[in-house]
Amino acid sequence: MATFLLLGSGELGKEFAIAAQRLGQKVIAVDRYANAPAMQVSHAFEVVDMLNGNELDKIVEKYKPDFIVPEIEAIRTERFYDYEKEGITVVPSAKAANFAMNRKAVRDLASLELDIKTAKYRYASSLAELETAAKEVGFPCIVKPLMSSSGKGQSTLKSPAEIPNAWQHAHESSRGDITEVIVEEFIKFEYEITLLTLTQSNGKTLFCAPIGHRQENGDYRESWQPAEMIPGDLKAAQEIAKKITEALGGAGIWGVEFFVTEDEVYFSELSPRPHDTGMVTLAHTQNFNQFELHLRAILGLPIPEITLDKMGASAVIISTQTSMRPTYKNVEIPAAMPKTDFRIFGKPTAFAGRRMGVVVSYDDLDSDMSVVRERAFQSAKEVIVTN
């Protein structure tokens, strides 16, 4: 039995902990608040400020884990290099965690070192710098915190008048203590995808079928698998994903995001862990879902192939109000729907716009994806988060 120190215990961490439990592993769940979702299914838990390096050191010393698995960005990741020197495996690697948790590091790696196609971009550390950067990139443009996830803190600017609000929004939504933001050229893409990429210590890099997704206010609302892609575009995305994950090193699942235009595939972002849009893999679309793949790769278990067995869709259950003890109405609706299931994340509190659960739906590969998506979306919309 290996010991996993899970840093970040949200809904993705919960599904990973469940996968680990099924293979007899020990999980210690860590987060900044008590009763986080993964804590509810782990052997032990700790509530600490993971941006406090000393607190992080104490937890590592207490449990002496075999593996450290980051699930969020707000971690003092520079400590990971020391943990690796002590013989602890950081997933997927200390370098990957440090680079991918910060948009500046991973974007410069992709664009400047690996010569991967990205949107034009600039950085800004003040409102004045943001005004200059936006002018250089051109309008419309997108402003994001350097450290955030799931689109949080993102703004699309159409004119200079929107810059002050974008600066404030990015700072309020940033994770960690980095104040710098990235300003990106607005790419007029036809669609965007997540390519779940699996790296193995003793095996070849594998790819899940591409996942399409829809965002609202910069946050994931729906995803579906497989997303339709021209074979040449899919091959280009796979080559880019393989190139950047090899540069970062380590074994595990990566969520690599792309914009696809009429004639180009642009690298967008990368997460060195299971991805929120990859919740769709809970709909039995693959022989292993993304959490099982992540775990097996970490343990060094052979994964000869990833098969696409069904088409699937996910839609999130969103809270519209604040609740200190959330309950759920109408869960019988997705429960009664054919080829459909749901997950309640178990977050101890709710607020307007917070993801509280997900509905997944599936069907045979020759079915109509629009029907599967609608089934998941309408079912999720019926579930009400209340006091």
Last residue of a domain, one of 36, 69, 90: 90
The answer to whether residues 145 and 205 belong to one domain is no
- Residues 163, 298 within the same domain: no
From residue 379, how far is each of 113, 230, 316, 340, 354 by CA, in Å? 45, 31, 10, 9, 17
Report the alpha-carbon distance of residue 35 to residue 348 in Å, rounded: 6
Instruction: With respect to residue 298, please indicate whether it lies within any of the assigned structural domains.
Output: yes
- For position 151, what pLDDT does the model report? 62
- Rounded CA gap, 379 and 371, in Å? 12
Q: Is residue 354 part of a domain?
A: yes
Structure confidence at residue 177 (pLDDT): 61
Pairwise CA distance, residues 175 & 70, whole Å: 14
**99 in any annotated domain:** no
Using left for φ > 0, alpha for ψ between -120 and 50, and beta otherwise, residue 151 falls in left
We report the CATH number of the domain holding residue 181 as 3.30.1490.20
Q: Is residue 27 classed as helix, strand or coil in its secondary structure?
A: strand
Residues 342 and 285 in one domain: yes
- Catalytic choice (31, 184, 185, 269): 269
Asked if 246 and 280 sit in the same domain, the reply is: yes
Asked whether residue 79 is domain-assigned, the answer is: yes
pLDDT per residue as tens digits for the range 187-202 = 999 999 999 999 999 9
3-class secondary-structure state, position 79: helix
Look up the domain containing 11 and give its range.
3-90
For tokens 């960690």, name the residue: 176
Instruction: Write phi, then psi, for 359 (nearest 5 degrees).
Output: -110, 135
Whether 151 sits among the annotated catalytic residues: the reply is yes
Q: Which CATH number covers residue 253?
A: 3.30.470.20
User: Are residue 63 and residue 85 in the same domain, yes or no?
Assistant: yes
355 is catalytic: yes
Catalytic one among 122, 355, 373, 375?
A: 355
- Give the Å distances, CA to CA, from 15 to 21, 81, 207, 278, 289: 10, 27, 20, 11, 10
Beta bridge partners of 342: 359
Judge whether 132 lies within some domain: yes
Which of 149, 174, 197, 268 is flagged as catalytic? Answer: 149
25 inside domain: yes
> What's the count of helices (H) and strands (E) in the chain, helices before strands?
11, 20
| Residue whose C-alpha is closest to residue 103's, from 78, 126, 121 | 121
Q: Nearest Cα to 198, choosing from 254, 272, 277?
A: 254
In terms of domains, do 49 and 196 share one? no
Instruction: Say what the pLDDT of residue 152 is.
Output: 73
Residue type, 158: K
Q: Are residues 294 and 345 in the same domain?
A: yes
Q: Do residues 164 and 295 both lie within one domain?
A: no
Consecutive 10-residue averages of pLDDT for the chain (387 residues): 97 98 98 98 98 97 98 93 98 94 88 95 95 96 81 87 94 72 95 98 97 88 97 98 98 97 95 97 98 98 98 98 96 98 98 97 98 98 95
356 and 334 belong to one structural domain: yes
Do 52 and 180 belong to one domain? Answer: no
Same domain, 10 and 146: no
CA angle 32, 170, 46 (to 5 degrees): 5
**Could you tell me if residue 97 is inside a domain?**
no
Phi, psi of 140, rounded to the nearest 5 degrees: -70, 155
Among 277, 281, 285, 319, the one annotated catalytic? 277
Number of folded domains in the chain? 3
Claim to verify: residue 9 and residue 30 sit in the same structural domain: yes
Residue among 16, 78, 99, 151 nearest 272 (CA): 99
pLDDT of res. 175: 61
Answer whether residue 114 is part of any domain: no
277 tagged catalytic: yes
Whether 314 is catalytic: no
Boundary of a domain, candidates 158, 185, 212: 185
CATH number (domain holding residue 17): 3.40.50.20
